[in-house]
């Protein structure tokens, strides 16, 4: 009896979580231009509109470009830092950890406004470089946390073994450690990419018209009257998110198998 009630509530919560997303996806295939059901017919006109438009497609390219570059930069900086943190002990580790995780905790609006003020005089506002740097800053904690988690499954004795066999620290890292934690590093990069793909507030404050990302363009679209092209953009973003989720699940599965074997 109690179990039945629990299931009822649980299913209602699952419905609450999924329904809004599921509800808007079919709208993007509508042949009409209304935001409600029943659909007058099915068509791909809103996707044609998306791919033919002067601002949606560039926004999608901006998102991919800025996301990839920001994820690359965050991974390049975050992976060695995670390795350093992993070998570290004591008070300095706690402080360093706090500094690295701070961008996760500080409200994004504060980062956005502070960067607007700091980037202004050095000419980084309304540039791709500025957006990439800002998004890398926001994504780097996710890389560090994920790589640290992957390193938990790595036995440090192997590094000593490598050193005993004559490998320098750099060689030992690249030949022994990195291959084993690679799924974790890749998952961290995906997290950083997803963070950039999700980000609106920084884009709202420091991106110019030429750096508009997909979420930023959606924000603009939602502020006027919502067109069905916006739902097509939303559907494409949902597809991309599902792809990223599956990628991470696959990478984490691989990481576990590697740690186990």
Partner 1 sequence: MNRPALLMAPLLLFLLLTFATPIAAFLWRGVSDAEVAPVLPRTVATLADWNGTALPPEPAFAALVADLRDARARDRDTGGGSIARAAARLNADRPGFRGLLPMTARRVERPFPGPAQDAVFAISEDWRDIETWGAIRRAGGPLSAFHALTALDLQRDATGAVRPVPDNQAVFRAVLLRSLWISLLVTACCLLLGWPMAWLIATTRGWANTLLLGAVMLPFWISLIVRTAAWMVLLQKEGVVNAALGSIGIGPLTLMMNRFAVVLAMVHILLPFMVLPLVAAFRALDPRLPRAAASLGAAPWLVFLRVTLPLCLPGIGAGCLLVFIQALGFYVTPALLGGPNDQMLAWFVGFYATRSVNWGLAAALSIMLLVAVGLCVALYGRLAGFRRPGAA
Q: Which is nearer to partner 1, 20 or 166 (CB)?
A: 20
Q: Which is nearer to partner 1, 2 or 261 (CB)?
A: 2
Q: Which is nearer to partner 1, 224 or 261 (CB)?
A: 224
Supply the minimum distance, in Å, between the C-beta of residue 166 and partner 1: 18
Distance separating alpha carbons of residues 177 and 76, to the nearest angstrom: 16
Cβ-contact 183, 254 below 8 angstroms: yes
Supply the minimum distance, in Å, between the C-beta of residue 56 and partner 1: 14
Per DSSP, the residues of 108-161 read HHHHHHHHHHHHTTTT-TTSHHHHHHHHHHHHHHHHHHHHHHHHHTS-THHHHH
Cβ-contact 40, 29 below 8 angstroms: no
Supply the minimum distance, in Å, between the C-beta of residue 77 and partner 1: 4
Sign of the Cα torsion 134, 140, 141, 142 reads positive
Q: Which is nearer to partner 1, 57 or 200 (CB)?
A: 200
Supply the minimum distance, in Å, between the C-beta of residue 100 and partner 1: 7
């Amino acid at each position: 009896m109690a179990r039945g009630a629990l299931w009822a509530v649980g299913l209602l919560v699952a419905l609450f979580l999924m329904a809004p997303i599921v509800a808007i996806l079919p709208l993007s295939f509508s042949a009409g231009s209304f935001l409600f059901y029943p659909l007058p017919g099915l068509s791909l006109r809103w996707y044609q509109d998306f791919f033919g438009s002067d601002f949606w497609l560039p926004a999608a390219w901006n998102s991919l470009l800025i996301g990839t570059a920001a994820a690359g930069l965050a991974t390049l900086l975050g992976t060695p830092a995670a390795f350093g943190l992993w070998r570290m002990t004591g008070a300095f580790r706690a402080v360093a950890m706090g500094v690295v995780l701070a961008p996760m905790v500080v409200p994004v609006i504060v980062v956005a406004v502070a960067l607007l003020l700091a980037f202004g005089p050095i000419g980084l506002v309304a540039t791709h470089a500025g957006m990439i740097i800002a998004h890398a800053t926001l994504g780097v904690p996710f890389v560090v946390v994920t790589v640290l988690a992957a390193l938990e499954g790595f036995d440090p004795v192997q590094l000593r073994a490598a050193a005993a066999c004559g490998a320098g620290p750099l060689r030992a890292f690249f030949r022994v450690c990195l291959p084993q934690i690679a799924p974790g590093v890749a998952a961290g990069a995906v997290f950083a990419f997803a963070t950039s793909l999700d980000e609106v507030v920084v884009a709202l404050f420091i991106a110019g018209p030429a750096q508009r990302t997909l979420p930023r363009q959606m924000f603009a679209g939602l502020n006027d009257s919502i067109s069905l092209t916006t739902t097509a953009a939303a559907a494409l973003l949902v597809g991309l998110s599902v792809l990223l989720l599956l990628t991470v699940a696959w990478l984490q599965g691989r990481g576990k198998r590697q740690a186990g074997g």
